Amino acid sequence: TTLSKIALEVRNLQRTEIQELGEFFDPEKQVGSSTMPHKMNPITAERICGVARIVKSYVNAAMENNPLWHERDLTNSSCERIMFPEACILTDYILNLTIKLMNNLIFYDENIERNLNFTNGLIMAERLMAELTRAGMGKQTAYGVARKNAIKANKEKLLLADLILEDPDASQFLTKEDVERIMDPHTYIGSAPIIVDEIIESSKDWF
């Protein structure tokens, strides 16, 4: 399930309207579609998702193996002789596909930046509310200030940061420098780098 979730995320982020990352595509060897020459499908990620469905389907067979006659019959045996080896082989195959996928990911930095700025700062409204609260504004008041300006920014296609700078309630608690810092999505990643480093370090002990 975890590997198929990773592959599904890659497939979604490779969509044309998002395109933040994608699989490596060799135009000399790969064809995305026989009728659409422009297609560059994430074939490895698609295969991971497809084969993972087969492996997950064995859960149902395993559950069906639970009810046996009396002390125990052998209806489970023939099922398990197929299910266990196939599940192991296919899981190994999915693991290798995922390694290949991760090793060959391509990131499109310009598109990531474009998507971060797509909402004119609305994605930072939660942080704005939290920072207003931290600066001394009541939480419900801070929520109202952030919500009011977010709705206006969305409706009128304005930058949320500009509206906050013009808001008399917000300007009592935040300076221009505060707003610039708060509305920068690059500084709003929480503990993600620490968590990633810890997982990478821990994984070294697994192999």
pLDDT digits (tens, 9 = 90+) for 192-202: 999 999 998 99
DSSP single-letter state for residue 107: E
Quick one: CA dihedral 5, 44, 94, 90, positive or negative?
positive
pLDDT digits (tens, 9 = 90+) for 35-58: 777 777 889 999 999 999 999 999
pTM over 0.95: no
Q: Which fold has domain 119-187?
A: Ribonucleotide Reductase Protein R1; domain 1 (1.10.40)
Q: Where are the domains of the chain?
A: 2-114, 119-187
Q: Which CATH superfamily is domain 2-114 in?
A: Fumarase/aspartase (Central domain) (1.20.200.10)
Helices (H), 69-175: 75-103, 109-116, 125-134, 139-156, 160-166, 168-171
Q: Which two tokens stand for residue 91?
A: 């899981």
